[in-house]
Structure 1
Amino acid sequence: MTYLVADDLPAEPAGERFRRLLARGGILQIPGTHNGQASLQAKAAGFEAAYLSGAAMTASMGLPDLGIITVDEVCFFIRQVARASGLPVLVDGDTGYGEALNVMHMVRSFEDAGAAAVHIEDQLLPKKCGHLNDKKLADAHDMAAKVAAARKARRHLFIIARTDAAASEGMDGAVARARLYLDAGADAIFPEALTTAEMFREFASRVNAPLLANMTEFGRTPFFTAREFEQMGYRMVIWPVSSLRVANKAQEELYAAIRRDGGTHRMVDRMQTRAELYATIGYHDYEALDASIVKTVIPTAMPQVA
């Protein structure tokens, strides 16, 4: 896809394309894609939607995931992932960047940038990764007001309400919050940091809505496959930071090798080749597009001296 050409971009709103993927049944697998290149590779692997993690975006900027990234910074990531791949993108909206009016601004900004869906969580700032301890929860009705604001502002964006309540309020608290958020207008629910298959199954049995599961590494959730989440009653699964973790580890090893060996010669077999890179980003398609538009004009006569 050459995203500079309007005809190459999907005409249907991103949120509608996301809904269509969910409507066909099964479980929608949504890998984290922390930049445009990652989204192209995910698409080439056969994925039909992409995820932008707040933790991955902030980490790629050298920042912690504490809710300090801004709406405009997130929109920069949305634009590159949505334009590069053309995939419908689910975006981590943290706590909504403020209260109800801020949430409405976030929704419109994300839609304008090309997002298909967003999830908003019921933590207080400074927020934490959902798999860390001592998270502070917002009042459930305050969170419901944010969901209602998002619903009022959206044109097509799919709205997922995330609750981090299971760790501190138990399953009953998480379920009660989920039902309140659905009543406020959420399209789906994301129960964060469930720790057993039994918890995943119980939540699904008590909440009548499309559910999203988070399969992050090094967290509180055991490893489950997409198929296992589907059997537990979930319609979406994300692997939020996996691409960034792999890329960062490879870069760490590269820099160590340069310092150790004085060059990259022992790492070349680990690299994406120039040909592979150009194929991924469609380099030659851009060249052909440019050649079709900008043609050399050959003068037909010498200029005359006045």
Structure 2
Amino acid sequence: MRHGESLRSSVQSKAITPLIGVFDMFSASVAAKHYDGFFVSGFGFAASHYGLPNIGFIAWPDMVAFAQRLRLAFPGHHLLVDIDDGYVDHETACHVVRQLEHLGTSGVIIEDQKRPRRCGHVDGKQILPLEEYLEKLDAVLSARQDLVVVARTDATDHNEIIRRAEALARTDADVVLIDGVRSEAAIKEIRQVIGNKPLLFNQIAGGKSPRLSLPELTDLGVDVAIYSTPLLFAAQEAMDKALLQLRADDGRLPEPRAGAVGVAQSLELLENNISRHHRILASA
């Protein structure tokens, strides 16, 4: 299966492509019940694998290994991976891209931040000189074969956002992402500036960007919507609530209720990851 071409076809179709942020194999198993596309965000990965904010701690072999586990369990899903700044230098970025494409990743996002990096929706971001980033992006584009490449800028100054959006649209990147965009008006302007190049929008709870539905994003000319952290934040809230209740009840588990998850429901979810792979192989 040509995973890059499959994602590219979806991006270029008339319907918007939603990709759900997953941070471990279990969250991906839940997401797979509802959506056919995953996004591995640096925020979620750093939180899940290291218990740290995504400010430069991710080691690229860890990200590659996680992508490989995802692809084995979910052979038919779109899989877009955030590789931050390509792990600093051109050579590493290209090596990671080749590794990810070899194991079946659908696409990557590479940004123009410099270290120490920050989440795209917080203050304090610093960006590389445009020409330096374009050199790295060009190297990555030359290294890929079929992989979808999303060019991302973290510029915050309006004039610089527009300058970089125009520059990214002129490259061979498949998609453009302006992270932390703050208004619908800004989305409209960026859409006009980049012409026919597909546009990706990233929204995160408590972030800089407005909360918009898929129909609203479609009307604004957005082609791909990534949801970086809804599962991560929901897990944090639910686990906190469950443990507070457990303490309040002196360690007694709650009474089973209709629709609650127990052993049987959890095993059924996980067994799908085995049968799904077998079904793909049988139909090949």
Aligned positions, number = 272
Structure of larger gyration radius:
1
Q: Deviation digits for residues 171-197 of structure 1, max 9, x if unmatched?
A: x32222123234342111001111111
**2:176 maps to which residue?**
189
Decide which of 55, 58, 73 is 2:62's aligned counterpart. Answer: 73
- Taking structure 1 as reference, are residues 202 and 93 closer, same or farther at Cα in structure 2, changes over 3 Å only? same
Cα distance in 2 for residues equivalent to 1:273 and 1:79: 28
For the aligned residue pairs, the C-alpha RMSD in angstroms reads: 1.9
Q: Deviation digits for residues 3-59 of structure 1, max 9, x if unmatched?
A: xxxxxxxxx1211111122233220011112122222322221x2211111000111
**1:252 maps to which residue?**
240
Decide which of 215, 220, 223 is 1:235's aligned counterpart. Answer: 223
Cα drift, residue 256 of structure 1 = 2.4
**1:128 maps to which residue?**
118
**1:147 maps to which residue?**
137
Shifted more, 127-136 versus 20-29: the winner is 20-29
TM-score (norm 2): 0.89
Q: Deviation digits for residues 107-144 of structure 1, max 9, x if unmatched?
A: 01222333111111111111101111121111101110
- Answer yes or no: is the 8 Å Cα contact 2:64–2:96 preserved in 1: no
- Answer yes or no: is the 8 Å Cα contact 1:89–1:115 preserved in 2: yes
Shifted more, 172-181 versus 227-236: the winner is 172-181
**2:281 maps to which residue?**
none
The answer to which structure, 1 or 2, has the higher relative contact order (CA under 8 A, 6+ apart) is 2
Decide which of 251, 258, 262 is 1:273's aligned counterpart. Answer: 262
TM-score (norm 1): 0.83
Q: Percent identity?
A: 25
Q: Deviation digits for residues 142-174 of structure 1, max 9, x if unmatched?
A: 110111011111121100011111x2x31x322
- Answer yes or no: is the 8 Å Cα contact 1:71–1:109 preserved in 2: no
Helix, strand or coil at the partner of 2:55: coil
Cα distance in 1 for residues equivalent to 2:273 and 2:212: 40
Q: Structure 1: any 5+ residue segments left out of the alignment?
A: 1-11, 290-306
Cα distance in 2 for residues equivalent to 1:267 and 1:22: 45
Q: Structure 2: any 5+ residue segments left out of the alignment?
A: 279-284
Decide which of 207, 210, 213 is 2:198's aligned counterpart. Answer: 210
Tell me the amino acid that sits aligned with residue 164 of structure 2: R
**1:297 maps to which residue?**
none
Q: Deviation digits for residues 211-233 of structure 1, max 9, x if unmatched?
A: 00011110111211111111101
**1:304 maps to which residue?**
none
